[in-house]
Amino acid sequence: MSLQGIVIEGLKKQYGSGETLVDALKGVDMQVAPGEVVGLIGPSGSGKSTLLKCLGAVIEPSSGRMTLGDLVIFDGQWKIPDLRALRRDKIGFVFQAPYLIPFLDVTDNVALLPMLAGERNSEARSRAMELLEALDIGHRSKAMPSQLSGGEQQRVAIARALINRPPVILADEPTAPLDSHRALAVIGILNEMARQYETAIIIVTHDEKIIPTFKRIYQIRDGRTHEEVGEGKSPSEQLKTYLE
Ligand SMILES: Nc1ncnc2c1ncn2[C@@H]1O[C@H](COP(=O)(O)OP(=O)(O)OP(=O)(O)O)[C@@H](O)[C@H]1O
| Closest protein CA for atom 24 of ligand 1 | 44
- Residue 16 near ligand 1, beta carbon < 6 Å: yes
Q: Vertex 137, ends 134 and 141: CA angle to 5°?
A: 110
Atom of ligand 1 nearest to the CA of 220: 21
- Residue 47 near ligand 1, beta carbon < 6 Å: yes
Residue 229 CA to ligand 1 center (angstroms) comes to 26
How many other CB atoms are found less than 10 A from the CB of residue 111?
27
Residue 50 CA to ligand 1 center (angstroms) comes to 6
Has the ipTM of the complex gone over 0.90?
Answer: yes
Q: Is 31 left (phi over 0), alpha (psi -120 to 50) or beta?
A: beta
Q: Which amino acid is at 16?
A: G
Instruction: Sort strands 6-15 and 63-68 into parallel, antiparallel or unpaired.
Output: antiparallel
Domains of the chain: which residue ranges?
A: 6-243
Q: How far apart are CA 194 and CA 215, in angstroms?
A: 13
| Closest protein CA for atom 5 of ligand 1 | 15
- At residue 243, the pLDDT reads 47
The predicted model scores a pTM of 0.87
Name which of 53, 49, 63 is nearest 11 in CA terms: 63
| Closest protein CA for atom 11 of ligand 1 | 24
Q: Is 196 left (phi over 0), alpha (psi -120 to 50) or beta?
A: alpha
| Closest protein CA for atom 31 of ligand 1 | 45
What is the dotted CATH code of the domain comprising 6-243?
3.40.50.300
Per-residue pLDDT of the chain (244 residues; tens, 9 = 90+): 445 789 999 999 999 999 999 999 999 999 999 999 999 999 989 999 999 999 999 999 999 999 998 899 999 999 999 999 899 888 999 888 889 999 999 999 999 999 988 999 999 999 999 989 988 899 999 999 999 998 899 899 999 998 988 889 999 988 887 788 878 888 888 898 899 889 999 999 988 888 989 999 999 988 898 887 665 455 455 555 544 4
- Residue 225 near ligand 1, beta carbon < 6 Å: no
| Closest protein CA for atom 17 of ligand 1 | 49
- At residue 2, the pLDDT reads 47
Which of helix, strand or coil describes residue 4? coil
Q: What is the DSSP string of 137-157?
A: -GGGTTS-GGGS-HHHHHHHH
Q: Vertex 93, ends 143 and 244: CA angle to 5°?
A: 115
- At residue 209, the pLDDT reads 86
Q: Please tell me the number of Cα atoms within 13 Å of 127 on its side-chain side.
A: 19
Of 12, 13, 15, best ligand 1 pocket probe by most atoms within 8 Å of the beta carbon: 15
Is residue 197 within 8 A of residue 189, CB to CB? The reply is no
Q: Which amino acid is at 190?
A: L
Strand ranges inside the chain, DSSP E: 6-15, 22-32, 37-41, 63-68, 71-75, 91-94, 168-172, 200-204, 216-221, 224-229
